[in-house]
Chain A
């Protein structure tokens, strides 16, 4: 049995998931130590353990930890959303953007920032509602005696193009305020805080709990509508639930971190290459990997131009593709 085959056994997959959990933990610990105040992972652990309320503790607990946890949550949510959508659409190009979550959340967020700059706390709910509404609209537009994957994708692309045009038009007329909006459209964690986490934690938690429950049904659904129906799956009902979970997770992520959609495309594929497409394992693996990826990229973004920083979306878009392409060429991959 080759190493690759071994990874695809049940034990191998659990091992990969365990290792990813370790990687995520290591990424979080080392990320906590990076910044103007540099701490080694042991110092980080010590400081957090003592809870002495000193300045290093305040920096860690009030500034870095929420930002990093938010990054992990966002990365995990987008990766799970991507896994689900690629499975439901049976299309390797599907990502959270495909159901209009990004464009809808983006437009709502931009409008909010321009119209009520004084109510910045409303940004998250507005983007969340915008994202979910758009996903629902795409689903309705694709519905014709059932929502077929092809119609969903086409409706999603059309709606995203239109909303993107609206966003661009709005930005053109308000170029002077484009700075903060640019952060949003690249995807950034620089404003991560405990209140932001609290605004989305329940939606994300719900998504993370329901997604694994539906994972085997997603396996059945990827075989094709007719085969799935023949196996006794309620196809339309299942598809709706899965899209709803994907939309909820992605909407929550986009509303707090901006348009960081790329992780939702590549994290699932990288895990598919390693452990295969059984969604019962793929969902947790992609969640952990996506989380580690966002935390890692955010850390790099904070390090390279100290004391200034690069947004995480930029780092991810720069570093993700080469890694992804390397994997793609090394493995015989057929989606």
Chain B
């Protein structure tokens, strides 16, 4: 799988949120998009996932524009989980995960052994076997998020796009999600592009961090190269100190804002 963004621009209505972004995503890597609120992370992710049409430029999957690939066909290779609006449909965990088979299924009535196998595998990977008959609305936040991820896994994608998968979760659940992403990547070779807000969480699991600001990519590279006080000051307007874990992962201690008081967010 090869994913390239070529001078991609796009936004909503008259407003341009992403302007001329070019990027190549390495196969089987975990890439995290970082940046202050409103920098266009989610917009970029939506354009990669073909649910927002770019104004100009292209997203090429193996050399073919994602907007020109048949959308159902694309859904068998690329799965995406938008930012959650806390919705919990009136379905059980298993029923919801089975909906992830939609792009593979012929008719709505008969689930093939292949479909059931994929659902079982997704439930195993997300450790939800014990909850498969529970209604989604009775789950905790972390379990619910794992259910949604299981649904995207039932699609059996090569490329997984996650928009803020850890937001609103407690710290343990955040780690669970990140470890899940890591194991999906290591065991099954799924390429993951996600948006995170927590710098340290991102640094601990990503092969590459993409720092966005003002509609464009400012810095891109492995965590140890781009998690520096200078770059964080420029992108996030924070004063910070970086320490290193024994495994060589940078850890950022934020000390304060460098933004002038009148131009707050």
Q: What CA separation (Å) do A251 and B218 show in the bound complex?
A: 56
The stretch of B32-40, B79-87, B179-187, B221-229 that contacts the partner chain: B79-87
Query: Binding site of B, secondary structure by majority: helix, strand, loop or mixed?
Result: loop
Contact residues on B (Cβ < 8 Å of other chain), bracket:
20 to 34
* CB proximity to A under 8 Å, residues B71-90: 71-76, 79-82, 85, 87, 89-90
Q: What CA separation (Å) do A98 and B82 show in the bound complex?
A: 28
Partner of B133 from the list A5, A215, A223, A229 (CB cut-off 8 Å) is A5
In the complex, the answer to whether B89 meets A223 with C-beta atoms within 8 Å is yes
In the complex, the answer to whether A232 meets B76 with C-beta atoms within 8 Å is yes
Which chain B residues border A224 with CB–CB below 8 Å? 82, 85, 87
**With A215-B108, A223-B99, A278-B95 given, is the CB distance from A229 to B71 under 8 Å?**
yes
Which chain B residues border A335 with CB–CB below 8 Å? 90
* CB proximity to A under 8 Å, residues B82-112: 82, 85, 87, 89-92, 95, 99-100, 102-103, 108-109
**With A216-B108, A272-B90, A334-B137 given, is the CB distance from A227 to B95 under 8 Å?**
no
**Is A133 engaged at the interface, CB distance under 8 Å to the other chain?**
no
**With A216-B108, A272-B90 given, is the CB distance from A232 to B102 under 8 Å?**
yes
In the complex, the answer to whether A234 meets B71 with C-beta atoms within 8 Å is yes
Which chain B residues border A233 with CB–CB below 8 Å? 71-72, 102
In the complex, the answer to whether B102 meets A227 with C-beta atoms within 8 Å is no
Q: What CA separation (Å) do A316 and B68 show in the bound complex?
A: 51
**Is B49 engaged at the interface, CB distance under 8 Å to the other chain?**
yes
**Is A219 engaged at the interface, CB distance under 8 Å to the other chain?**
yes
**Distance to closest chain A CB from B243 (angstroms):** 38
In the complex, the answer to whether A231 meets B51 with C-beta atoms within 8 Å is no
Q: What CA separation (Å) do A233 and B100 show in the bound complex?
A: 11
Q: What CA separation (Å) do A220 and B100 show in the bound complex?
A: 9
**Distance to closest chain B CB from A103 (angstroms):** 30
Which chain A residues border B155 with CB–CB below 8 Å? 231
In the complex, the answer to whether B91 meets A276 with C-beta atoms within 8 Å is yes
In the complex, the answer to whether B99 meets A229 with C-beta atoms within 8 Å is no
In the complex, the answer to whether A231 meets B95 with C-beta atoms within 8 Å is no
Q: What CA separation (Å) do A295 and B79 show in the bound complex?
A: 47
Partner of A223 from the list B51, B87, B103 (CB cut-off 8 Å) is B87
Closest to B108 in A: A216
**Is B41 engaged at the interface, CB distance under 8 Å to the other chain?**
no
**Is A95 engaged at the interface, CB distance under 8 Å to the other chain?**
no
**Residue from A5, A220, A223, A225 with most neighbouring chain B CB atoms (10 Å):** A223
In the complex, the answer to whether B72 meets A277 with C-beta atoms within 8 Å is no
**Distance to closest chain A CB from B49 (angstroms):** 6
Contact residues on A (Cβ < 8 Å of other chain), bracket:
20 to 34
In the complex, the answer to whether B81 meets A227 with C-beta atoms within 8 Å is yes
In the complex, the answer to whether B89 meets A232 with C-beta atoms within 8 Å is no
In the complex, the answer to whether B108 meets A280 with C-beta atoms within 8 Å is yes
Q: What CA separation (Å) do A170 and B75 show in the bound complex?
A: 53
* CB proximity to A under 8 Å, residues B22-77: 46, 49-51, 71-76
Partner of B103 from the list A219, A227, A231, A280 (CB cut-off 8 Å) is A231
**Is A195 engaged at the interface, CB distance under 8 Å to the other chain?**
no
Q: What CA separation (Å) do A230 and B152 show in the bound complex?
A: 9
Closest to A279 in B: B108
**With A223-B89, A280-B109, A334-B137 given, is the CB distance from A232 to B72 under 8 Å?**
yes
Closest to A230 in B: B80
Q: What CA separation (Å) do A231 and B80 show in the bound complex?
A: 8
**Residue from A225, A231, A272 with most neighbouring chain B CB atoms (10 Å):** A231
**Distance to closest chain B CB from A38 (angstroms):** 43
**Residue from B73, B76, B102 with most neighbouring chain A CB atoms (10 Å):** B102
**With A234-B71, A334-B137 given, is the CB distance from A226 to B89 under 8 Å?**
no
Which chain B residues border A190 with CB–CB below 8 Å? none
Which chain B residues border A230 with CB–CB below 8 Å? 49, 51, 75, 79-82, 152
In the complex, the answer to whether A216 meets B89 with C-beta atoms within 8 Å is no
Q: What CA separation (Å) do A20 and B85 show in the bound complex?
A: 36
Q: What CA separation (Å) do A335 and B79 show in the bound complex?
A: 27
**Distance to closest chain B CB from A193 (angstroms):** 37
Which chain A residues border B90 with CB–CB below 8 Å? 272, 276-277, 334-335
**Distance to closest chain A CB from B102 (angstroms):** 5
Contact code string A198-230 (vs B, CB < 8 Å = 1, else 0):
000000000000000001100110111111011
Which chain A residues border B102 with CB–CB below 8 Å? 216, 220, 231-233
Q: What CA separation (Å) do A225 and B46 show in the bound complex?
A: 12
In the complex, the answer to whether B51 meets A219 with C-beta atoms within 8 Å is no
12 pairs from A and B in contact (CB 8 Å cutoff): A215-B108, A225-B51, A226-B51, A229-B50, A231-B100, A232-B72, A232-B73, A232-B75, A232-B103, A272-B90, A278-B91, A335-B90
Residues of B within 8 A of A (CB): 46, 49-51, 71-76, 79-82, 85, 87, 89-92, 95, 99-100, 102-103, 108-109, 133, 137, 152, 155
Q: What would 5 more interface pairs be, CB under 8 Å, given A229-B50, A231-B100? A: A230-B75, A233-B71, A234-B71, A272-B90, A278-B95
Residues of A within 8 A of B (CB): 5, 8, 215-216, 219-220, 222-227, 229-234, 272, 276-278, 280, 334-335
Sorted from nearest, which 8 A-B pairs have the closest CB atoms?
Answer: A232-B75, A216-B108, A232-B72, A277-B90, A226-B82, A232-B103, A230-B80, A229-B51
